[in-house]
Amino acid sequence: MAKTAKKRRGLAVKQELDLPVRLGQTVEVEITGLNHEGAGVGRVDGYTLFVQGALAGERVRARVEHVKKSYGFAALLDVIEASPHRDQPPCPVFDRCGGCSLQHLAYEEQLRHKQQIVKDNLRRIGGFPVEGEGAVVVHPTIGMSDPWRYRNKAQVPIGEENGALVGGFYAERSHEIVDMDECLIQHPANDEAVAAVKRIAARLGIPPYDEVRHTGLLRHVVAKVGARTGEVMVVLVTTEDFIPQREMLIESIRAQVPGVTSIVQNVNPEKTNVIFGKKTVTLWGSDVIYDYIGPIKFAISARSFYQVNPVQTEVLYNKTLEYAGATGTETVIDAYCGIGTISLFLAQKSRHVYGVEIVPEAIADANRNAELNGIANVTFETGPAEVVIPAWKDQGIRPDVIVVDPPRKGCDEALLTTILQMKPQRVVYVSCNPSTLARDLKVLAELYEVKEVQPVDMFPHTGHVESVALLVKRGAEH
């Protein structure tokens, strides 16, 4: 009752705002652009509305669904005047699933949009010129020749609908599961694995998770595939250790999932949106599967981070290697090194690479991957980059290049300060978030010239864009 009353009060407050639109109103909107999530941006009497599914250059009818003081959200009803770049989405659940926001936009136009997103953030947040003389060069986005079936990992929530087990992806801005057995950006092996587990779990009567009541057993099915090796890992995320008919479940997965070499259970008893819990056990087969990026072989465990698009990852890492300018004599520091993917790539053309990562399991994987490839000119250490790197400085380690590949929140302020104090000749910034990239580059511009940025389309048909930036110390040769 209290929640309902609070919601009513919130709606009343929204209605009291002096806005040119009201909740539930149908409006005609000229769409002038797309935001970073791929929603159309339009204005009604100066008031900004975000319309999911609308494209730049279109005139649409939309229904106002949420309003705030300076902007609101509206649901697309009709396209009155369509963009010439509008495509028919091939996915049958595109209009319900929140996974891909740009399938309705022609792929070449998606690439141009992502380049523009990077430019807009550099100009607006970083204060960098991106056109004309002295501008930061933002190259055209490097796309895929075949931008489908690229994801090597599926994380599928499991639930119940009308008494039946369902699994798919969440609908836009909700926790409602859209049941599906095929996703057009997933590797087919992942689709097969997830569909098989859903069938088997339903047949064996394994209870699906109910996140509202916090009951049931099977929370998620995670499938991983080695794109080059064909090896498949199936991870069952459960609320408790005990799995009814466990041996029959394992035997059925082995029989029905082609290429499976690893079946793992992860136990997550918490009431949380976080997928994985702390306990992981191998039920059958290997603890890891293997895959390659270029010539480097990687062991991938149930919880280790590994880029989901192996084709574009090789493009991204080759560009990182190029920007590092390594010739075989350089000392390189890789901050946020994860399981050593970038570090081992850089080690091919560097004197020595030092990698730092705060997650101990990732560093264990990084050391294992170095040994797997017989790469000896790398050193990995666990800890915060802003603590470990100054300690390396005290030990006399002087990097020629520092590479950073931070999470979406960007670099820690202390790390940026450390980079400015260590003064490497080059900094290579690998980013998954153009806004935090621009913010951090603005700080580093105190000492460094931002030479160029290369966007890479790691996630076709979504609003996400990865990019690599080259920074050269002022006064140093490019």
Which listed residue (97, 183, 337, 432) is catalytic?
432
pTM of the model: 0.91
Question: Tokens 């986005």 label which residue?
Answer: 141
- Pick the closest to residue 108 from 127, 85, 131, 89 (CA basis): 85
pLDDT at 37 over 60: yes
Distance of CA 277 to the CA centre of its chain: 20
Backbone angles phi, psi at 209, to 5 degrees: -80, 140
DSSP code of 136? P
Token reading at 392 = 């390396």
pLDDT at residue 477, as a whole number = 57
Say if strands 426-431 and 448-456 run parallel, antiparallel, or are unpaired. unpaired
What percent of the chain shows pLDDT beyond 90?
88
Q: What percent of the chain has pLDDT over 70?
A: 96
* Banded pLDDT at 293 (limits 50, 70, 90): very high
| C-alpha distances out from residue 163 to 9, 79, 174, 207, Å | 35, 37, 20, 10
Q: Can you tell me whether residue 311 is helix, strand or coil?
A: helix
Closest CA to 412 of 443, 455, 447: 443
**Which residues, other chains included, contact 302 with Cβ-Cβ below 8 Å and sequence gap of 6+?**
222, 224, 233, 235, 264, 266, 276, 280, 287
pLDDT of residue 373: 98
Residue 15 pLDDT: 52
Name the band, by pLDDT with cuts 50, 70 and 90, for residue 1: very low
DSSP state of 44: E
**CA nearest to 222, candidates 283, 157, 280:** 157
pLDDT for 249 beyond 70: yes
Whether 271 contacts 344, CB under 8 Å: no
pLDDT tens string 314-350: 999 999 999 999 999 999 999 999 999 999 999 999 9
Question: What is the tens place of the pLDDT at every residue in 382-395?
Answer: 999 999 999 999 99
Could you tell me the domains of the chain?
A: 2-81 (2.40.50.140), 137-142+309-473 (3.40.50.150), 153-293 (2.40.50.1070)
The average pLDDT across 190-214 equals 96
- 10 Å CB burial of residue 281 (0-12, 13-18, 19+) is exposed
- For residue 316 the two structure tokens come to 């991204």
Tell me how far the alpha carbon of residue 403 is from its chain's centroid.
19
pLDDT at position 4 is 54
Does residue 476 have a pLDDT over 90?
A: no
Residues annotated within a binding site: 307, 336, 357, 405
Q: Is the pLDDT of residue 9 over 90?
A: no
Confidence grade of residue 97 (pLDDT, cut at 50, 70, 90): confident
Output the pLDDT for position 475: 81
Helix (H, G, I), strand (E, B) or coil at 62: strand
- Is the model's pLDDT at 307 over the cut of 60? yes
Residue pLDDT, tens place only, 126-144: 999 999 988 999 999 999 9
Residue tagged 């929530």 (tokens): 157
What pLDDT, on a 0 to 100 scale, did the predictor assign at position 351? 97
Per-residue confidence (pLDDT) for residue 14, from 0 to 100: 47
Which residues make up each annotated binding site for S-adenosyl-L-methionine? 307, 336, 357, 405
- What would the mean pLDDT of 83-93 be, rounded to a whole number? 94
432 carries an active-site annotation: yes
Looking at residue 478, the DSSP 8-state letter turns out to be -
Q: Give the integer Cα–Cα distance in Å for 433 and 221.
A: 27
Q: Kindly state the average pLDDT of the residues 159-164.
A: 92
Model pLDDT for residues 39-83, shown as the tens digit of each residue: 999 999 999 999 999 999 999 999 999 999 999 999 999 999 999
pLDDT exceeds 70 at position 371: yes
- Compute CA distances 306 → 13, 292, 300, 340, whole Å: 45, 11, 7, 10
Residue 474 neighbours by CB distance under 10 Å: 10
Other beta carbons within 10 Å of 49: 26
Q: What is the mean pLDDT of the chain?
A: 94
Q: What is the pLDDT of residue 99?
A: 81
Q: How confident is the model over 11-34, as pLDDT tens digits?
A: 554 455 789 999 999 999 999 999
